[in-house]
Homo-oligomer: A and B are copies of this chain.
Amino acid sequence: MNTLHVALGDRTYPIIIGSNASHAAEPLQKAIIGKTVLIVTNTIVGPLYAEQLAKTIRGLGKTVHIHTLPTGEEYKNLETLNTIFDTLLANQCDRKTTLIALGGGVVGDMTGFAAASYMRGVPFIQVPTTLLSQVDSSVGGKTGINHPMGKNMIGAFYQPQLVLADLSTLNTLPGNELSAGMAEVIKHGAIYDAAFFSWLEDNMPKLMAKDEAALTHAIVRSCEIKSEVVAQDEKEGGIRAILNFGHTFGHAIEAGMGYGAWLHGEAVGVGMILAADLSHRLGQLSATDVTRIQNLVKAAGLPTEPPKLGIDKMIELMKLDKKSDAGQIKFVLLEGIGKYKIQTAPKIILRETLRVCEVI
């Protein structure tokens, strides 16, 4: 088992990474302060892992309830969130009740926001079961839900007490979900660590074959990078924005296609290619590096072409991004692999990059 700490003062918490990490009773015992636990999961993950987790926690003398959400990003909304509150209140759960998110990013985001909001905040543990949630949403405390007009528009910064990233849950993960998670792993290399990016180029076949040692390294290094960034800027005033590399384009694709049509990681994969292209057109990234990013995204089994949403539609959707400032789109771009730059872009050059989105 590998243990990292996300350093956030009195909100510092451990991430435990390894096979069967979710069976580890000791960290759970330390993290659960009250007598009652609500495991929130979904219809796919719940049947596979909820009972085992509940059994481990019942073994600690706790009362465990299980709440199962419908599966999919399209349910990450206010109505579904409210069903968690219904269950909490129906079971008379008090302020010391711990919420455990067992599932991927959608379950984690919704459970985290439910924990942040229920009685103005109850304790919260994450057991991420997808690569994406293990390397991304389990670090950093971002929680939230979607609004029909924008992704993650409603939420809170709220830190968990503990994250258990159980590698063995990846065995049941579909291939396209593994790819989607890999998009964020690639992102961490691209913006922050050229050596890690090279390592990913060499090891992508192993990673896609779910080689345990390779996956462990990729997850640990990703969590380290994200932790380092988040520890410097918990509430996204500055450097944390670099984690949005590929996301300005990606969010527009997700919103434009309707939530659930593209996986988040798929949209981010294409978004990184577009961001690399824009960086190149601005004269700050070599054609070779653009190709390296394209190739690595492709090697991870991700799409490399954006949907034909139209240039104007893409720009309109990007203006709604949370990082926009009075209608100005702020991009996270590259000045070489491993080196980010936050900047705006002239509209005429942006439109060049977006030409691949043109409706045919």
Which residues of chain A have a CB within 8 Å of any CB of chain B?
Answer: 34-36, 78, 82, 85-86, 89-90, 92, 94-96, 116-121, 142-144, 147, 149-150, 152-157, 235-236, 319-320, 322-327
Q: Let me know if B121 and A157 touch, CB within 8 A.
A: yes
CA distance A235 to B154 in the complex (A): 22
Interface of A is mostly: mixed
CB contact between A150 and one of B89, B152, B322 (< 8 Å): that residue: B89
Q: Let me know if B156 and A121 touch, CB within 8 A.
A: yes
Q: Let me know if B325 and A118 touch, CB within 8 A.
A: no
Q: Let me know if B155 and A117 touch, CB within 8 A.
A: yes
Answer whether A119 and B35 are a contact pair too, CB < 8 Å, given A90-B149, A156-B156.
Answer: no
Tell me, rounded to whole Å, the shortest Cβ–Cβ distance linking A167 to chain B.
30
* Nearest opposing residue in chain B for A327, CB measure: B92
Q: Which of A34, A95, A142 has the most CB of B within 10 A?
A: A95
Contacts A96-B326, A120-B322 supplied; 15 other A-B pairs, CB < 8 Å: A34-B326, A85-B147, A85-B153, A89-B147, A89-B153, A92-B319, A94-B322, A117-B156, A118-B153, A119-B155, A120-B155, A120-B235, A120-B236, A121-B156, A121-B235
| 10 pairs, A vs B, C-beta closer than 8 Å | A36-B326, A78-B78, A89-B320, A90-B149, A94-B322, A119-B322, A120-B144, A120-B157, A120-B236, A121-B157
Query: Which residues of the other chain, B, contact A150 by a CB distance below 8 angstroms?
Result: 89
CA distance A157 to B156 in the complex (A): 11
